[in-house]
Amino acid sequence: MTDPVSPERPAISYAQLLETNQLIQACADSTYWLCLTRTVQGSKLYPVSAYILLSYLNAFYRYPSLIRKVEASMPAEEIADRARQMGVKAQNSSIGWALPSFYLLGREYLINLGFLRPQDAIEDVITVMDFWKRFQLSWHRNDGHLTNADYNQRAQILPHSAVQRFAGEMHKVEPGGALSVAAQRFLATVSQYGFLVSAESRISLTNSGPYRLTDDSQLLMRDFMDLGETSLPWLDDIASDMPFNNLTVAMEVTGCHFHLVDDWGSFESTPEFTPDRLTGIGLYTSDTLSEGHVPVGMDTPETLTAMLDDLSDRAKAATDKLWLRMAEWSRDQLIDAGALSYYAICKEIAHIAGVFDPADWLEIDPRAERFRPLLSDEYADTALGELVGGLTLPSQQTAPHGMMKWSDKPTRVLTPLPLSVLNGAPFLPRMAPPMPGGSHLPAKNDRYQTTRGVLSLAQYNEAARAFVPKSCRPEENFRCETARAYPGCDR
């Protein structure tokens, strides 16, 4: 089953290990806080914990190779430029937390099952964390932080000019008026659809911001993604009436402060955001092939109201059809949809780089698949709880004087790379590349809905590779906020 792995020992420096361990710790701190304070999930429909553990394993075995494939086409920092400028699904929750954390939690799980030493796959770990670091630094370049947690739970991704544009284009909303009612219904309906699309996860929804508009009003950007027949196979023939794969709502809110926008893209506000505080709204679509955010139904307040109502109707109809499809699925199909939703949370990096392949992103690798028989509901619920919350697995115990951030206990979420490899300790550099896998779900149709119409995969990848949006051409991309503030300096 396994391809032979090169016995060559890669050169790894002390500085590389120190930096990688710092990045691992940043993910660990973020993971613990998010898992403890943000959520307790349970579902009568989906075996959630079982699919999460399977997704972690799939991520561990496959992400390093797929990241190398993506970066052979486009480096992480350029992918982040595209994501920031274009609003596609390479947002904070997808890359900021999930990409490194799914991979590292898969590694942690396998260490506890005896399959790995902490130093095994060391080159893979460095590859994943280095990709993540460069993506994050570019994605957050306007605020200069690595994560939202570093910025006291805030995500000011957009440059000043973009905030000005969204603020200037939005339509005013009167509480209780037609646009207000339509907006609230749309936000609820598309959120509901998004949870179903992503198999009982919040992967299809994220938020960024806030941005100060006035002393009493703020802008929050709300993204709803993977809504159409684009890259999730279970939406084939279900989402054919959804005209947009991604929608972004620019939301002006008056009288409440968004004090938290976390690395899962969730928001909290003081006081609680309620519909009567919505005072402005804009609606946009975007994807890998668009020149950034394209207005949707924005001509007048009336056309926007009609568009929101129409999209709500379509999302509601698609929700009912998709739910009935899922209600008939077997446990293996439900697990695959959930595991692939999770695992493929960062698939947009392959779309942006023009190298998307369903065999890479929509299959369970046989090395992960072999664990499926262990993943009963009870085992998966308790094992996942111990892995991300209880921190009771053997690899997560530290010396008794330790006081972990947030809990003060001698525990940790993730195991660092051991420095002993610098003294000659043996290690396996890389895991073998992805192996031909499968899924219990139907294969993806060769139909990819984009802002340029429905394309085949070959057309989509080719178009993505050929396209450089104006905002990402060097003359525009590197006119950063500092350069704009000193217009005489770049001549």
Partner 1 sequence: MTQLPTDNGLWGGEPDSPLVAAVHLSVRDLVRRRFTESGLDWDAFVAGPIDDVITKDDLAAIDAAILASGHRYSFSATISAVERPDAYQGLGALEGGFDHPDAPSEPADADGKALCGVGDNVVQGAADVTGVARYVRSAAQVIALMEEGVPEGSIAIIDDSGGTLTAPILESFAGLVCAGGTVRSHLGILAREYGIPCLMNVRLSGVAEGDRVLLETTAAARTADSYLTDTEMPARIWKLS
Q: In 10 A of CB 429, how many CB atoms?
A: 18
Handedness of CA 197, 249, 278, 35 (dihedral sign): positive
Cβ proximity of 424 and 212 under 8 Å: no
Tokens of 475: 């003359």
x/- map, 210-249, partner 1, by CB under 8 A: ----------------------------------------
Q: Which residue has the tokens 């960062």?
A: 346
Tell me if 238 sits within 8 A of 444, measured CB to CB: no
488 binds partner 1 (CB under 8 A): no
- Of 247, 246, 239, 244, nearest to 318 by C-alpha is 239
Is 132 an interacting residue with respect to partner 1 (CB under 8 A)? no
CA distance 440 to 438: 7
Q: Which of 168, 176, 394, 424 binds partner 1 (CB under 8 A)?
A: 394
Give me the half-sphere count of Cα atoms (radius 13 Å) on the Cβ side of residue 18. Answer: 3
The answer to whether residue 405 forms part of the interface with partner 1 (CB under 8 A) is: no
Residue type (1 letter), 301: P
Which phi and psi (to 5°) does residue 388 adopt?
A: -110, -15
- Residue 373 near partner 1 by CB under 8 A: yes
60 token code pair: 């561990």
Check residue 410 for interaction with partner 1 (CB under 8 A): yes
Task: Indicate the DSSP class of residue 231.
Answer: S
Question: What gap in Å lies between CA 265 and CA 92, rounded to an integer?
Answer: 7
Binder to partner 1 among 303, 376, 420, 456 (CB under 8 A)? 376
Please report, as residue ranges, which positions from 169 to 188 form the binding site for partner 1 (by CB under 8 A).
184, 187-188
| Residue 272 binds to partner 1 (criterion: CB under 8 A) | yes
Of 243 and 410, CB closest to partner 1:
410
Which residue, 382 or 459, is less far from partner 1 as judged by CB?
382
Tell me: does residue 202 bind partner 1 (CB under 8 A).
yes
Which candidate, 202, 426, 183, places its Cα nearest to that of 298?
183
> Could you tell me the smallest distance in angstroms from the CB atom of residue 110 to partner 1?
10
268 binds partner 1 (CB under 8 A): yes
> Which residue in 16, 25, 43, 459 binds partner 1 (CB under 8 A)?
43
Distance in Å, CB of 152 to partner 1, minimum: 13
Cβ proximity to partner 1: between 144 and 390 the closer is 390
Q: Which range in 72-80, 280-288, 329-337, 449-457 contacts partner 1 by CB under 8 A?
A: 329-337
Residue 22 phi/psi, 5-degree rounding, is: -65, -40
Instruction: Tell me: does residue 18 bind partner 1 (CB under 8 A).
Output: no
Q: Which is nearer to partner 1, 297 or 338 (CB)?
A: 338
Considering only residues 83 through 122, tell me which ones interact with partner 1, judged by CB under 8 A.
111-118, 120
